Amino acid sequence: PRAVEFGSAPMLLRSTTKPGWVTVIARVQYEGEHTPLPDTLILQTYSPLRPLLYKEQPWKGSVQQHSDKLFNQRMTPEERQRALEEVERQQTQFGESF
């Protein structure tokens, strides 16, 4: 969550290396009389000029999968809920500071 500021719409955009056009439609989740109007942003993407340093196939023993398993196995449902509430609190504080 992030506080709405006039003229801003924070976002993260993930795309591929394939060139083309990306259309982003920005709107608030709960529309009302005093909320920002929706708008469309069209971005052009290009092929990389240099070779990329990565492998097409993900590593089978990825750290994310391993950490997800540990998170689910070693924590009780109550501990998981507390951890998620703490993350939510931190995100709310982060949004208020900007």
Q: Are both 40 and 10 inside the same structural domain?
A: yes
Looking at the structure, do residues 1 and 43 belong to the same domain, yes or no?
yes
Do the bridges between strand 20-26 and strand 39-45 make them parallel or antiparallel, or are there none, so unpaired?
Answer: antiparallel
* Full domain range(s) for residue 94: 55-98
Q: Which helix (H) or strand (E) holds 87?
A: helix 77-97
pLDDT in tens, the chain (98 residues): 566 666 666 778 888 888 999 999 888 878 877 777 888 999 999 998 888 887 777 666 655 555 666 666 677 888 888 888 988 888 887 776 55
| Element at 21 (helix H, strand E) | strand 20-26
The Cα–Cα gap between 1 and 96 comes to: 9
Structural domain count of the chain? 2
Q: Are residues 44 and 61 in the same domain?
A: no
> Whole-prediction pTM value?
0.43
Q: Are residues 64 and 92 in the same domain?
A: yes
